[in-house]
Chains A and B, each alone.
Chain A
Amino acid sequence: MDWKQIANEPWIWISGFIIAAVALYQATFFMMKALNIMKQNGLDQKQIIGIVRGATITSVGPIFAEIFVMVALVVALSPGFAWQREGAAVGSVFTELVQASNAAVGAGQEFGAENFDMLGFSNVVFVMNVACIGWLLVTGLFTPYLAKAREKIGGGDHMWLSVLTICATLGVFGYYAATNLVKMKTTAGVPVGIATIAGAILAIFFFRLSDWIKSPRLKEWALGLAMFGGMIIGKLAADLLLA
Chain B
Amino acid sequence: MRPPFLTMTGITKRYPGITALDGVNFSIGPGEVIGLVGENGAGKSTLMKILGGVVQPSAGRIELDGDEIVGLTVPRAMQGGIAFVHQELNLFENLTAAANIFIGREPLKAGFMKLVDNKELSRRARPLLDQLGADFDADTPVAELSLAEMQLVEIAKALSLGARLVVMDEPTSSLTASETERLLTIVAKLKAEGVSVVYISHRLGEVESCADRVIVLRDGRRVAELAGREIVAGLMIRHMIGRELRTLYRPPGAAPGDAILELVGIRTSHRPGQEVNLAVRRGEILGLAGLVGSGRTELARTIFGLDRAQGGEVRIDGKPARIGHSRDAVEKGIYLVPEDRKRSGLVLGFPVRDNITLANLGAYAKSGLVDRGSETVEAERQRAKLDIRLPGISVDVGSLSGGNQQKVVLGKWLSMSPRVLIFDEPTRGIDVGAKNEIYRLMRELSDHGVGILMISSDMEEIIGVSDRVAVMHEGRIAGFLERADLSEQAILSLAVGRSGAHEA
Decide whether A and B assemble into one complex. Answer: no
- Please list the residues of chain A having a beta carbon within 8 angstroms of any beta carbon in chain B: none
- Please list the residues of chain B having a beta carbon within 8 angstroms of any beta carbon in chain A: none
